Amino acid sequence: MSKEYSLLIKNGRIIDGNGTPAFSGDVLVKGDRIAKVGGTCPKEFSDEVIDAGGNVVSPGLIDSHSHADLDLLKNPGQEFDLCQGVTTEVVGLCGLGFVPLERELLEENMKYSAGLFGYDPVLLNRDFSSFEGYMREVEGAGINVAVAAAHNAARIAASGFYNRTQDRERRLSAMGRIVDEAMAAGCIGMSTGLSYYPCAYADFDELVFLAKKLKEHDGTFLAHIRYPKQGEPESALDEIIRVGEESRARIHILHYRTKYPYDHGRPERLLGKIAEANKRGCDFTLETLPYLSGSTFIHAVLPGWAVEGGFKRTLENLKDPALRARIREEMPYLLGITAMGNGKPPRFGHVGGRPEYGGRLIRDVRSERGQELDEMLLDLLVESELDINYVGSEAEEDPELSRILMKDTMTLLGSPLYLCGGDAMPYGEYPHPRTYGCYAKMLRLSREMEIPLESVIAKLTSSVADRFRLEEIGRLESGKRADIIIFDPDAVTDRATFEEPAATAAGMRYVIVGGKTALKDDKPNGVRNGTVIRKAR
């Protein structure tokens, strides 16, 4: 039997992910596992020695919210994550995903979702028919992958891309079996995206049914909540709280923070509402990220009836003059509550067939084309065949408002109720800079805002692992998977901006995935030693 390859990291400032104070010492790795943390290990018995030189040695960071579901198959190296120190990403978020779908429905869903994921017909030959199949496809990427089942894919598999009311029990039973399959395969739970169709067709009872199913398996319901009803800014949050009260499931609310003009400057009000729900027996956490703007596909601003039927029917509806007029009548509210109309000048991230529009302010393109905003967006949706997305801006007309909202965000991130979710969307010429910078930005903000690095590392590692029951990762402890980063805390930084969103982060000396070095001095080396991380049973 061959001897396991051993790696010794000496002279590190160890931050083990538990939130406890840093300490000096060595870390010994054997094979893909951590063998010892702390103390001094003799280097002559190790195959490779890394001198950390007093730099931080910590667990690899966990991106708790990624949309790299398809990018993992096209770009398995995931270099943009490695450069930030991310060694595990969770996919299948916001209810958006492709498992378990057979070829015809898979193609329909890929085309409908092209604005966020891109459409590549070659991927139709990969296995999306089961969770085990998809997990085999992403095994051996540059980083580890944890998977959530996606509500939209379950709904499409059960009833197509429709808002059906008949055969309710049959459809719920079919989705329940998909939850069972997902959890048996090691998924962390299921996500829903109640601002996106077909997830948004789901009513309260369907959400409770799915949440109860997940509770049976100790899984997490990850909820991108609805757009609020007009004039009822808390309606969406109240709905998911009622789901938690009815189901008693573990629920994680995705990308939620204070908003102008409802509760900005009052993060304690939001925290208090969730804390009170937990006191009543619920189990809620939330997440946000250190940016004030969002990004998604453009057809998120279309009403539900306009997209019912999926990709082909949506294009047909957009081309129908009478239906288009009706769509335009209903668009203003949705435009107003997204990054398209909140006072920040959004950009096109990607426009299929129009690469010259990528990165340009939408208002400038509208002026150039001489069209009203809604008319232009509907035309471009048709021209690009839904392959279009936008990126919000951090710029506010009121700098003081920006300051308040960012202070709120950091207050929320400091709460034990909150995780940091990067919401990475690695598609298009001009992605949101969060894709390339979120986690490095968190480390930079730790330095600049004098937030203890131990607490930030715990937030980005063990807190995520504990919440989603990922027992193999998240801490530097004997027996854990050897996903380790070494970085200079005074130099690590994000470089992605809205003008140059694909600038990779800097300051990582080493990133080790499963005991093998995947990055040295900010440069990924092509090693792909990632694995699928499954929820503990």
pLDDT digits (tens, 9 = 90+) for 397-424: 578 888 898 999 999 999 999 999 999 9
Percentage of the chain beyond pLDDT 90 is: 87
Q: Which helix (H) or strand (E) holds 214?
A: helix 204-216
Task: Answer yes or no: are the C-beta atoms of 398 and 344 closer than 8 Å.
Answer: no
Supply the pLDDT for residue 165.
79
Supply the pLDDT for residue 1.
41
Q: If you average pLDDT over residues 476-501, what whole number do you get? A: 97
Supply the pLDDT for residue 340.
56
Q: How far apart are CA 95 and CA 73, in angstroms?
A: 19
* Domain parsing of the chain, residue ranges: 61-292+418-431, 296-391
Q: How far apart are CA 57 and CA 34, in angstroms?
A: 13
DSSP 367-421: HHHT--HHHHHHHHHHHHTT-EEEE--S--SSHHHHHHHHHHHHHHHTSTTEEE-
Q: How far apart are CA 264 and CA 402, in angstroms?
A: 10
Q: Which CATH class is domain 61-292+418-431?
A: alpha beta
Largest CA distance in the chain: 78
Supply the pLDDT for residue 520.
98
Q: If you average pLDDT over residues 287-296, what whole number do you get? A: 93
| 352: CB partners within 8 A, 6+ apart | 114, 383, 384, 385, 387, 388
Out of 39-53, 332-346, 397-411, 511-525, the most confident range is 511-525
Task: Answer yes or no: are the C-beta atoms of 69 and 141 closer than 8 Å.
Answer: no
Q: Average the pLDDT over each of 194-203, 298-307, 396-405, 457-466 and give the range with the smallest value.
A: 396-405
CA nearest to 283, candidates 101, 468, 443? 468
- Rg of the Cα trace of the chain? 23
pLDDT-based confidence at residue 458 (cuts at 50, 70, 90): very high
Task: Answer yes or no: are the C-beta atoms of 86 and 461 closer than 8 Å.
Answer: no
Alpha helices in 52-191 (DSSP H): 71-74, 79-82, 103-112, 114-117, 131-138, 151-159, 168-185
Supply the pLDDT for residue 263.
83
Q: How far apart are CA 155 and CA 495, in angstroms?
A: 39
> For 259, what's the count of Cα atoms within 13 Å in the CB-facing half-sphere?
16
Supply the pLDDT for residue 6.
95
Supply the pLDDT for residue 2.
55
Length of the chain: 537
Supply the pLDDT for residue 377.
96
Query: What mean pLDDT value characterizes the chain?
Result: 94
pLDDT digits (tens, 9 = 90+) for 231-244: 777 889 999 999 99
Q: How far apart are CA 108 and CA 247, in angstroms?
A: 32
